[in-house]
Amino acid sequence: MAQPSPVKVLEVCRVAPPPLSPDSTTPKCLPLTFFDMVLLKFPPTQRLYFYETSHPTTTFLEVVVPKLKHSLSLTLQQYIPLSGNVTWMPDYSKLIIEYVESDTISLTIAESEVDFYSLCGDNFHEAQNFNPFLPCLVGSETRVPVLALQVTLFPNVGFSIGYAVHHGVLDGKSTTMFMHSWAFICTHGEDSTLMPELTPLYDRTMIVDPSDLETTYSNFWLGKDGPSNKSLALWDMKAPPDAMLGTFLLTQDNIENIKMCVQFQWEQTQLQKPSLHLSSFVITTAYTWVCLVKARQIRSKKVYLGISVDCRGRLKPPAPPTYFGNCITCLIVNADSDKLIGEDGVATAAKTIGEAIAGLKDGVLEGKGDLLSRYAAIPPSQFFSIAGSPRFEFYKTDFGWGRPRKVVTTSIDKNGAFSLSDSRDGNSWVEIGIVLNKHDSEAFVSVFSSGLHKTFTHA
């Protein structure tokens, strides 16, 4: 017999931006660029923000929800494409993000008696426990919405805001810029003007495609069926039924000690020239990658790590930070699993990652024509990737009721990624989200903590 839902849906509404003024410069139609085409059919990015408040149901529905709805509508006026859909031009020659006056986004209002503080905890939870608090992108073969939202009240304790966003439309930087904009308008009122760093730029002419990557990526998605394959349905990737999601913290002291250990091992084994920059990102990703390979006991195989690279400042000429859309590419690095689980594993991983990042100076888009085909050829069990970034400052998304108590990137349960974000206390460098099966999650806890202890010992 089916279990009752832990969430009671109170309302499913549609939120529209105010009518555009005649002099508005916000476009109603945007072409997809090759950056967007890479991610055209990837599953939506889903994330949950948990806020601790003491609102009873009546107050929440009469005060908080109207304020969230109104500020959302005003924000969409600046972010019109989020109200639209990914679709084809009438002649099926090109993919576009199209907004028409009747377009809206879906907003679900719900209520739950689930333990709010348990969901906000760092310990491993069943990943499926977060699903009831997340919206879905419901589209068709020829038209897929860009954004869906859900607000869930935990009476007298708090509420969550969850989103699902089409990854073929915008990357993490653009998504979090929208969330910060919504929070800003909700906090400051309808007469507030978005600051320049929150105002999206839609100019597609700054994305130059001399190698015609758009056609290359489009042909990949069309596949063997050729031009007749016009389906825009997203990949329906399922999380394993026993997937567990947990959060781990690396402080700046942890990172500095790992860095000293890596540098010592480089000197002892002559793994690397001293000139390679050991950033906090390199150390964090190297350490996490090694811990995952150890926890999953991957032996005698090549393992891969996909690293998302923000191309805005690396293009020639560069695009501004406020460019709206996808402007990322992926570095795919690899290493022998047996080397990563060895004594010098973190040093080996850091060298591999650091060299790949240093190579970006030769051109961020060099050799990207076969990016999708290389990705598709990697066995999923041997591929790891990274979602999010501490630079997105998720924990600064304050709608007027304080910083989030917890931010969870839930979509990593489907794609083998681990997530990175800033920390809730604002002092530690990074929170790391991990998804593993129950057995491997227990192993990861041990490997992660014991690795830090060994690092302190070496240092």
Per-residue three-class SS string for 174-210: HHHHHHHHHHHHHHHCCCCCCCHHHCCECCHHHCCCC
Q: Which two tokens stand for residue 156?
A: 């007298």
CA 391 – CA 215 distance, rounded (Å): 32
Q: Is 398 a catalytic residue?
A: yes
Q: 233-250 in b/e burial notation, b at 16+ Cβ within 10 A? A: ebeeeebeeebbbbbbeb
Task: Name, in order, each residue with C-beta under 8 angstroms of 449's C-beta and a sequence gap of 6 or more.
Answer: none
- Residues 117, 125: contact at Cβ < 8 Å? no
Cβ(144)–Cβ(232) under 8 Å?
yes
| Ramachandran class of 123: left when φ > 0, alpha when ψ lies in -120 to 50, beta otherwise | beta
* Rounded-to-integer distance, Cα 309 and Cα 323, Å: 15
Among 36, 167, 310, 422, which one carries the catalytic annotation? 167
Q: Which of 209, 242, 338, 398 is catalytic?
A: 398
Residues linked to residue 164 through DSSP beta bridges, in sequence order: 46, 148
Give yes or no: 167 in active site. yes
Residue 326 in contact with residue 171, Cβ under 8 Å? yes
User: For residue 293, which amino acid is it?
Assistant: V
Residues that are catalytic: 167, 398
